[in-house]
Structure 1
């Protein structure tokens, strides 16, 4: 009997550790939730104060007419009616913004993809190349603007016009920032060049994560380099490509500093963007209500652009 009781007691003893394990398991989600709150609440509060609150203030101010000094006058949606029906400069700036966006996307995404693909095949000096391409992203925008002013200059002769003279194309020399036909592309190229290295680094990190055995198997089956890229590499980096496209699109639609420093929107309105027009409406013409309406349109424009990108990619997935 004593041996049987001892055996039963021994069989029962392991139960207390199970309760402690259940207690530790039940406490883990609480600790995780607290950790998430500690790390997320401060940046979310900062984002709300620095981003969401100004957007809300601009939305409210867009329903008023205000010069910054006198009392605000409620005008309802008159600022939006003026923007869509009575302001020709707004539509010129909107068209220029779309052209600016197209040039920036081609240079940034196309250039980044090409450079990142070539970088994966580079046997050595990858770090040096990555650093050189990334440098423009950390250089001051004022320095970049002054640099390209010199590059585009006609008098004294800048780099582009000097190269044209060297190859015997003096007839193509022009003041690139003062010619209506070339100014939009001239202010777009610095912005595209500036962020190409940043997106190249992101895409390169995605490309080197592609399983090498899949590419080797495809090459053994006779696949060309294009088939390897389109069927294996690009599907693998597609989530990163979507994120990069959204980043490049929203940044380009909000581009301001380099175009404003180079031309201020001129000559005429040939390089006027929505952002430069909004700035001049607010701080030159002191029409803060109308400038707020333009800023609200820019926010909505960015949201619509992101929605279109996601919709197009979803349709492609469904097909």
Structure 2
């Protein structure tokens, strides 16, 4: 559809980012795939073991499955906060007439704060001694019985490390969804109001169907990022107590750089890539089917 000269120009401009993407993303994935068929401690010669790493991961390593189900819980909390909170905040912004710009800046602040700062912040929030913000608020409203060391108990550690990650990117998805809501034709909404539709009906029948493509994109972004989540859980608990907040990513890191089993860690990295691809496929299948 483009003239030959235009095609050549497009190819010239696309070549550098494609090469960069291949070198920075695709090549490491291929290297991890190859390494997953070997046993290697990083020093001695690599030994080919075939599918042994994958067999051990799927059938012989109970810790891996613990981390996998922890990852699903982590994903559920992140999606609830990021997508649910982002959509609610975006709808609120769309209904305001003043102060939108200030709120957008405030929503986006967590996304630009360093991960280390967020980890230290939530360590103070969850602190039991000295009393942190969360326990202080519970005590102030008479719920002293709910005060606890949130990062040190097995029942609460996973949720405690998931919440900061969810909070961190609420603002990003809020702004994306807010921009999508602004593109909804107001004439259609006004016509629906004249026909007697309430706010919920306008949202479910007009606004959300209109922003569905953006919603699919944000769901994919939030899901894949949560499945690759590492930094905040690692900084807050290092996977503890026990394995209560251990994720596949943190377990992979420890396997590679603490146990120096790079072949097995590569097998887990390949699993994470496949996990993300399967998640994206399911999202597209479910959300696009509902749109038909």
Normalising by the smaller structure, the TM-score range is: over 0.9
Structure 1 residue aligned with 2:32: 58
1:184 paired to 2:175: no
Residue 231 (structure 2) aligned to one of 257, 260, 263: 257
What is the DSSP-based 3-state SS (H/G/I as helix, E as strand, rest coil) of the residue aligned with 1:155? Answer: coil
User: Which one is further off, 164-173 or 271-280?
Assistant: 164-173
What's the Cα RMSD here?
A: 1.0
5 Å-filtered alignment, 1:49-88, equals: 49-88=23-62
Q: What number of residue pairs does the alignment pair up?
A: 292
TM-score, normalised by the number of residues in structure 2: 0.98
2-structure distance, mates of 1:201, 1:90: 36
1-structure distance, mates of 2:103, 2:289: 37
1:207 paired to 2:181: yes
1:309 paired to 2:283: yes
* Runs of 4+, deviation exceeding 3 Å: none
Structure 2 residue aligned with 1:155: 129
> How far is the alpha carbon of 1:71 from its aligned partner?
0.4
- Kindly provide the CA deviation profile for residues 33-68 of structure 1, in whole angstroms up to 9, marking residues without a partner as x: 122112211111111000000000000000000000
5 Å-filtered alignment, 1:239-278, equals: 239-278=213-252
Structure 2 residue aligned with 1:224: 198
> How far is the alpha carbon of 1:143 from its aligned partner?
0.3
> How far is the alpha carbon of 1:116 from its aligned partner?
0.3
Structure 2 residue aligned with 1:285: 259
2-structure distance, mates of 1:314, 1:155: 49
Residue 107 (structure 1) aligned to one of 81, 95, 99: 81
What is the DSSP-based 3-state SS (H/G/I as helix, E as strand, rest coil) of the residue aligned with 1:180? Answer: coil
Structure 2 unaligned spans of 5+: none
Structure 2 residue aligned with 1:10: none
What is the DSSP-based 3-state SS (H/G/I as helix, E as strand, rest coil) of the residue aligned with 1:67? Answer: coil
2-structure distance, mates of 1:281, 1:220: 62
Structure 2 residue aligned with 1:8: none
- Kindly provide the CA deviation profile for residues 54-101 of structure 1, in whole angstroms up to 9, marking residues without a partner as x: 000000000000000000000000000000111000000000000000
> How far is the alpha carbon of 1:30 from its aligned partner?
2.0
> How far is the alpha carbon of 1:176 from its aligned partner?
0.2
Residue 137 (structure 1) aligned to one of 104, 111, 117: 111
> How far is the alpha carbon of 1:259 from its aligned partner?
0.4
> How far is the alpha carbon of 1:216 from its aligned partner?
0.4
1:96 paired to 2:70: yes
> How far is the alpha carbon of 1:200 from its aligned partner?
0.5
Check the 8 A contact 2:161/2:245 in 1, yes or no.
yes
> How far is the alpha carbon of 1:31 from its aligned partner?
2.6
Residue 237 (structure 1) aligned to one of 211, 221, 224: 211
Check the 8 A contact 2:209/2:291 in 1, yes or no.
no
Check the 8 A contact 2:32/2:270 in 1, yes or no.
yes
What is the DSSP-based 3-state SS (H/G/I as helix, E as strand, rest coil) of the residue aligned with 2:241? Answer: coil
> How far is the alpha carbon of 1:315 from its aligned partner?
2.6
> How far is the alpha carbon of 1:105 from its aligned partner?
0.3
> How far is the alpha carbon of 1:171 from its aligned partner?
1.3
